[in-house]
Each structure stands twice: as structure tokens, then as C-alpha cells.
Amino acid sequence: GFMYYMVERCQFNSTDPKDIELITSWYYNKIEVNRFSSSLGKFVGYTKYGVYNAKQWNSGAFLNTMRADKERYCVHNIGIWNINI
């Protein structure tokens, strides 16, 4: 069968929001197809299908949702993660 999945991660050096980056990657059969990086602020495609997706997602409301996810997911939880380190 085929496998399609998403991995979302936060990379940070401090609790300052400007030092936090949200990276969301979509994979199909172990190949990264798309990636959203909050520091870049847009989607990037790595395959023909991924480039098509990135073009569609960068021109729609999904882009604004992903930009807000940095605040919702990373900045909100960074204090908890930082204590555990």
C-alpha cells in the first residue's frame, strides 16, 4: 500500500518567538512532497505533485492557517518543552 503522512516540529534555541521555527512536512512513500517553514512563510514543493500543491496552498486561506500555527502550536507549548529539557 501507499503511505501519506505529515510531521510537524518546532525548532528553537530560546523561548523568544522570533527564535522559534515551525516546520511541517508532508511525505508520500517516504519521500518529502511538501514543506511549510514559518521562517520562509510559505509552502515549498519537492516533487511535481508537491509543486502543484504548494502553488495552490500559497494562494489560499490554508497559508494563513499555517502561519498562525506557529503561535498556536510552538509558542504556546515552548515553555512546557523548555522545562523538560
pLDDT, tens digit (0-9, with 9 covering 90-100), for 2-18: 899 999 999 988 777 78
What is the spatial distance between Cα 51 and Cα 33, in angstroms, rounded to a whole number?
Answer: 8
pLDDT of 33 > 90? The answer is yes
Walk me through the domains of the chain, giving residue ranges and CATH numbers.
Answer: 4-83 (3.10.320.10)
In the chain, how long is the greatest CA-to-CA distance? 42
What is the spatial distance between Cα 20 and Cα 29, in angstroms, rounded to a whole number?
Answer: 29
Report pTM.
0.85
pLDDT of 24 > 90? The answer is yes
Which amino acid makes up residue 45? G
What is the pLDDT of the chain when averaged over all its residues? 90
Looking at residue 85, what is its pLDDT? 60
